[in-house]
Structure 1
Amino acid sequence: MAKVPIKLLIAASGTGGHLFPAIALAEKLPEYKIEWLGVPNRLETQLVPEQYPLNIIAVEGFQQGLSLSSVRILFKLMGSILEVRRILKQGNFQGLFTTGGYIAGPAVIAARSLGLPVVFHESNALPGKVTRFFGPWCSAVAVGFAAASKYLPRAKTVCVGTPVRSQFLDTAVDNALDLPIPNGVPLIVVFGGSQGAVAVNKLVRQSAQAWFDAGAYVVHLTGDNDPDAANLQHPQYIVLPFYDNMAALLRRANLAISRSGAGSLTELAVCGTPAILIPYPFAAEDHQSYNAAVFTDVGAALTFKQSELTPEILQQRVLDLLQSSAELAKMGENAKAIAFPDSADKLAALVREIVER
């Protein structure tokens, strides 16, 4: 008799940082029957592959303080817990995997109320409030950075890194860069994660002429929220809202200028790309600064606070690095040393161990 596949519900919503690791995990569990849990009008409605049925629930994050709005959100939360319980029971799921965010709350509560095992993945060096609160409820919390474990003293933590999309593990993509960049020229790649980074974009545009004069090319991924994205024009400047083949781009880059979201840092590490990091100053609990510190501490990146970084400082630090191939090479080696290229395999093994035991 054919073996009935294990059913796993994945709760991952909102940003690429939550969705890409979950998709990478799902690809490593081909023998499982997987369905997705998301919310309306978020990135999962575009990114989740068609082979994973998408269940939509209505849930919102809490704002600071108690108000009529938060009371309404609380009632919506209670309704979403009941809805997730219904999905889990009717679908005969045997476990839940989540990457955090406000969808994790109702998902974890519903799964644990049914006695189902839960694996939580936390990609940031400083775990979010949801992770710190619900971590002890879970069967295991997989962390992207070893530093995160100290903030989760009551949870069972396992350091597995953060999974990356399969393109980052396929070295054949090195030859797939379809941008007009000559061989041998220095390449600077600027990106702000899946949300873009308007303040970083402005700094780069104010600094770039000196880099062009030094012979460098710049590929600038501005996101789609920058009203001034088309303001700079130059033969050595390629501006795009996004670029699909990030693996090939980061491997070709001599230097990246980036925010320090966990997903971006994971990609930089796997590709061994030296970086200047500018943490997003309004990230929850300043968690991007904690992420950046992991890279700065091992010499894989330089970190600057946005409030202290001027175009003149950025311009000069980039020029200094471009003139020191030895320093860039060492930074790249240090980045690769903290990478987990087999993270998706490690996470899949942990899910199997927890769900199947």
Structure 2
Amino acid sequence: MKFVLTGGGTGGHLAIAKALLDAITAAGDEAIFIGSTTGQDRMWFGEGSAFEQTHFLETTGVVNRRGIAKLAALWRVARSALEARRIMKRYRPDAVISVGGFSAAPASFAALSLKIPYFIHEQNAVTGRLNRLLRRYARCFFSSYDPESPVKSYPVNRALFETARVRERVETVIFLGGSQGAKAINDFALAVAPALARRGIAIIHQCGERDYERVREAYAAMGIGAELYGFTKELPSLLARSDLAVSRAGASTLWELAANGLPALYIPYPYAAGDHQYYNAMHLAEQGLSRVVREAELRPELLEQMLDDGVEAASRGLRALEGDDAAAAIISAVREAC
């Protein structure tokens, strides 16, 4: 069977595409990727990827643009949709799966115009604008937050299940600001670092390339040997070594931590569309499996309280929550619907 995977822009969308690709290739099938020249698509699926082909079309986000800028963005989507049609006519896929994000628009419209079976995976608790628009045309709509979804588990890297464990005590804390880093989380990490050091707790910190030098110098000034990264593709191994996370609440990160049994203090990005990061995190917080705090209310005492309360119960609950075959289950459901 031949698949087209489309979507991206950010690591959350692209992580889903990678998990689905792994399931497709494990089944002996093949896939191509249609994404964008902007965003992180090339970083994830450039030269050396397991896709049969990759195509990066000229698109940008449309949401939050106004006037001429919005018209220009829509024009790029329309022009790229024609290119996506040409690609699909040559490749002749059996199914197109969108993982959302602005990169998905051209191939999504092309698939519908060619009457190719079309499927959507929505990563967030609040459905994105493109997915809201196209959901009615999809044969299946997959979402871990939608009670009508045929697959409720979230597709994540299988390595996170293979290294999953129940955390009984906290020896290492990891700070995650997302692929671009987050100054608020970086500042919070620096504020709590002395208290962690006094407790003998190690620090792993992914701070973003733009803030790397400032954060490195701050740790050095305090004499704290944090394990610091600007950006890394080795996140599964870093999570496996950690016992508690402080993180943004992008859906892929949230479910990766859950799959690994790693409890977290979530600090949602305050400007996320529809406040979706807050609602992502609340899905776990309402089950007692995480804690959530607004960025404006962030205080060092919150982390120290989590350390005092312990993490074992939340870690056990997370391990019981997430199934490990979500990507394969989604591909199986796509086969059945075609």
TM-score greater than 0.5 by the shorter chain: yes
CA deviation string 1:134-154 (max 9, x = no partner) = 11111111113236x6xxxxx
Could you say which residue in structure 2 is the equivalent of 1:39?
Answer: 36
1:50 partnered with 2:37: no
Could you say which residue in structure 2 is the equivalent of 1:7?
Answer: 2
Amino acid at match of 2:214: D
8 Å CA contact 1:189, 1:257 repeated in 2:
yes
* Alpha-carbon distance in 1 for matches of 2:97, 2:293: 35
CA deviation string 1:93-142 (max 9, x = no partner) = 22211101112222222111111101111111111111111111111111
Where in structure 2 are there 5+ consecutive unaligned residues?
none
CA RMSD of aligned residues (A): 2.1
* Alpha-carbon distance in 2 for matches of 1:254, 1:10: 34
Could you say which residue in structure 1 is the equivalent of 2:156?
Answer: 164
SS where residue 323 of structure 1 aligns? helix
CA deviation string 1:42-83 (max 9, x = no partner) = 322122253311112112221446512222222222211211
* Alpha-carbon distance in 1 for matches of 2:63, 2:160: 36
Q: Cα distance 1:185–1:264, how it changes in 2: closer, same or farther (>3 A)?
A: closer
Task: Give the ranges of 4+ consecutive aligned residues of structure 1 lying more than 6 Å apart after TM superposition.
Answer: none
CA deviation string 1:164-189 (max 9, x = no partner) = 12321323x98xxxxxxxxx872111
1:286 partnered with 2:269: no
SS where residue 265 of structure 2 aligns? strand
Could you say which residue in structure 1 is the equivalent of 2:251?
Answer: 262
SS where residue 33 of structure 2 aligns? strand
* Alpha-carbon distance in 2 for matches of 1:65, 1:246: 33
CA deviation string 1:216-267 (max 9, x = no partner) = 1111111212152212123452222234443333233221101100011111
* Alpha-carbon distance in 1 for matches of 2:135, 2:336: 18
SS where residue 158 of structure 1 aligns? coil
8 Å CA contact 2:37, 2:59 repeated in 1:
no
Q: Cα distance 1:206–1:76, how it changes in 2: closer, same or farther (>3 A)?
A: same
8 Å CA contact 1:301, 1:331 repeated in 2:
yes
SS where residue 218 of structure 1 aligns? strand
2:215 to 204, 229, 238: 229
8 Å CA contact 1:28, 1:348 repeated in 2:
yes
8 Å CA contact 1:9, 1:95 repeated in 2:
yes
SS where residue 225 of structure 1 aligns? helix
Could you say which residue in structure 1 is the equivalent of 2:262?
Answer: 273
Could you say which residue in structure 1 is the equivalent of 2:236?
Answer: 247
SS where residue 47 of structure 1 aligns? helix
8 Å CA contact 1:100, 1:130 repeated in 2:
yes
Could you say which residue in structure 1 is the equivalent of 2:303?
Answer: 318
* Alpha-carbon distance in 1 for matches of 2:36, 2:97: 16
* Alpha-carbon distance in 2 for matches of 1:242, 1:188: 17
Could you say which residue in structure 2 is the equivalent of 1:77?
Answer: 77
User: By how many angstroms is 1:11 displaced?
Assistant: 0.6
Could you say which residue in structure 2 is the equivalent of 1:144?
Answer: 144
Amino acid at match of 2:13: H
Q: Cα distance 1:340–1:223, how it changes in 2: closer, same or farther (>3 A)?
A: farther
Amino acid at match of 2:229: L
Q: Cα distance 1:228–1:66, how it changes in 2: closer, same or farther (>3 A)?
A: closer
Q: Cα distance 1:243–1:66, how it changes in 2: closer, same or farther (>3 A)?
A: closer
Q: Cα distance 1:65–1:194, how it changes in 2: closer, same or farther (>3 A)?
A: closer
* Alpha-carbon distance in 1 for matches of 2:262, 2:275: 23
* Alpha-carbon distance in 1 for matches of 2:215, 2:251: 25
SS where residue 103 of structure 1 aligns? helix
CA deviation string 1:284-333 (max 9, x = no partner) = 11100000101110111111100111xxx32x2222222333xx111112
SS where residue 215 of structure 2 aligns? coil
8 Å CA contact 2:7, 2:105 repeated in 1:
no
SS where residue 102 of structure 2 aligns? coil
* Alpha-carbon distance in 1 for matches of 2:264, 2:162: 22
Q: Cα distance 1:34–1:257, how it changes in 2: closer, same or farther (>3 A)?
A: same
* Alpha-carbon distance in 1 for matches of 2:324, 2:187: 33
* Alpha-carbon distance in 1 for matches of 2:50, 2:225: 41
Could you say which residue in structure 1 is the equivalent of 2:23?
Answer: 28
Could you say which residue in structure 1 is the equivalent of 2:330?
Answer: 347
Q: Cα distance 1:106–1:41, how it changes in 2: closer, same or farther (>3 A)?
A: closer
Q: Taking structure 1 as the reference length, what is the TM-score of the superposition?
A: 0.85
Q: Cα distance 1:143–1:29, how it changes in 2: closer, same or farther (>3 A)?
A: same
SS where residue 210 of structure 2 aligns? coil
